[in-house]
Amino acid sequence: MEDDHVPHWKRVLCFIPEENLEGNSILDFGCNQGGFLRLLYELRPYKEGIGTDLARKSVEIANQRKGELPLEFYATGQPEQFQHRFDFAFSLAVLYLIPNLDEHASKIKSSLKAGGVYYATFADYTSNPSLPKIRERINSNAVIPMQNHSLDTISQAFIQEGFQVSVRRMLPTGFVDLSHGKKWYNQVEDQLQFAYEQSYLFRFVAPKAGSDRT
C-alpha angle 64-69-74 in degrees, rounded to nearest 5: 50
Taking only the tens place, the pLDDT of each residue in 163-188 is 999 999 999 989 999 998 899 999 99
Taking only the tens place, the pLDDT of each residue in 128-152 is 999 999 999 999 987 789 999 999 9
Cα–Cα distance for residue pair 8/92, rounded to 1 Å:
9
The DSSP 8-state label assigned to residue 70 in this structure reads S
Poorest-pLDDT segment among 3-7, 98-102, 124-128: 3-7
Whether the CB-CB separation of 173 and 11 falls below 8 Å is answered with yes
Q: What is the model's pLDDT at position 102?
A: 98
Q: Answer yes or no: is pLDDT of 214 > 50.
A: no
Q: Name the residue with higher pLDDT: 36 or 4.
A: 36
Taking only the tens place, the pLDDT of each residue in 47-95 is 999 999 999 999 999 999 999 999 999 999 999 999 999 999 999 999 9
Q: What is the model's pLDDT at position 57?
A: 95
- In sequence order, the β-bridge partners of residue 202 are 120, 167
Dihedral of CA atoms 144, 146, 152, 157 in degrees, nearest 10, equals: 0
In terms of C-beta density within 10 A (0-12 exposed, 13-18 middle, 19 or more buried), how is residue 42 classed? exposed
Average pLDDT over residues 12-41: 97
Cα–Cα distance for residue pair 134/69, rounded to 1 Å:
35
C-alpha angle 80-83-68 in degrees, rounded to nearest 5: 95
